[in-house]
């Protein structure tokens, strides 16, 4: 499922780069950050439970489960930034292009958690779609919330929303460029069009907020232990993602209207 997630993200990123007119190798922009994300997700999980790692280092490092979402996000983000710098592509523009792909890839990857029953499921439920995982990597015979499916649905919705924001961003900038090209001095309407255009980085800011909200909410019915102020580690990371996304959006809007 990780491989299918990479493939799906590749096609979305390639389409986004094409509509933005960015000449970049979508395959490399998916492969390198995804591999870095897998390593980061595993290392973050290991660092979360150092006692278990020192007790069984080999099994912890090479087990089929134990991948932390926030560790994967940090490592994948770092690799993506490095790739953008290497290819001399404006960072915020490249982050915008990669956001729908990242959202969809995450959702597809969660199907792997669902199929393996690796403990990413939720608390017991009497809802008709509750499921048990008696043969999972972390087995349970109770009917529980299939939270990976919830995350898949949320990820697909988020990817669609981000794609639409990107389409509006591109359309507004193309319209502003056409308006500026018709006159040496822009008319008031073209100034208004330019100031109303969605600035670079706004798709990425929306990604941080929406994915953070989705993960924060689903954690209420997950079985992860609580740590920070009654929140799970993933909720704390999600809250940070939301704060950073809102701060970035406000900063972009402030800079764009100057």
How high is the mean pLDDT in each 10-residue block of the chain (258 residues)? 92 95 90 87 73 62 65 85 91 94 93 88 93 92 95 96 94 78 47 59 95 93 79 86 94 79
**C-beta separation of 46 from 60 below 8 A:** yes
**In this structure, what are the phi and psi dihedrals at residue 175, rounded to the nearest 5 degrees?**
-65, -40
Distance CA 40, CA 38 (A): 5
Length of the chain in residues, anyone? Answer: 258
**C-beta separation of 47 from 66 below 8 A:** no
Q: What is the pLDDT of residue 48?
A: 67
In 10 A of CB 14, how many CB atoms?
A: 17
Number of compact structural domains in the chain: 1
Q: What is the pLDDT of residue 12?
A: 96
Q: What is the pLDDT of residue 57?
A: 64
Distance CA 231, CA 237 (A): 10
Residues 6+ apart with CB under 8 A from 249: 202, 205, 206, 209
User: Domain range holding 161?
Assistant: 2-256
For the whole prediction, is pTM greater than 0.75? yes
């Amino acid at each position: 499922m990780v491989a299918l997630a990479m493939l799906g993200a590749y096609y979305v990123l390639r389409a986004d780069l094409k509509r933005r007119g960015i000449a970049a190798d979508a395959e490399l922009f998916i492969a390198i950050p995804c591999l870095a994300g897998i390593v980061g997700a595993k290392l973050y999980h290991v660092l979360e439970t150092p006692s278990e790692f020192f007790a069984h280092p080999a099994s912890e490092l090479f087990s089929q489960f134990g991948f932390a979402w926030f560790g994967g996000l940090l490592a994948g983000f770092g690799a993506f930034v490095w790739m953008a710098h290497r290819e001399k592509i404006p960072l915020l523009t490249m982050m915008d292009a990669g956001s729908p792909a990242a959202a969809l890839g995450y959702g597809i990857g969660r199907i792997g958690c669902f199929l393996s029953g690796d403990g990413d499921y939720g608390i017991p439920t009497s809802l008709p779609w509750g499921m048990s995982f008696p043969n999972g990597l972390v087995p349970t015979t109770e009917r529980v919330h299939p939270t990976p499916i919830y995350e898949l649905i949320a990820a697909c919705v988020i990817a669609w929303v981000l794609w639409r924001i990107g389409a509006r961003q591109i359309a507004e900038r193309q319209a502003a460029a056409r308006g500026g090209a018709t006159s040496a001095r822009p008319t008031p309407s073209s100034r208004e069009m330019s100031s109303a255009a969605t600035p670079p980085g706004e798709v990425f800011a929306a990604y941080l907020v929406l994915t953070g909200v989705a993960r924060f909410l689903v954690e209420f019915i997950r079985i992860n232990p609580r740590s920070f102020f009654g929140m799970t580690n993933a909720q704390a990371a999600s809250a940070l993602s939301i704060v950073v996304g809102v701060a970035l959006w406000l900063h972009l809007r402030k800079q764009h209207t100057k």
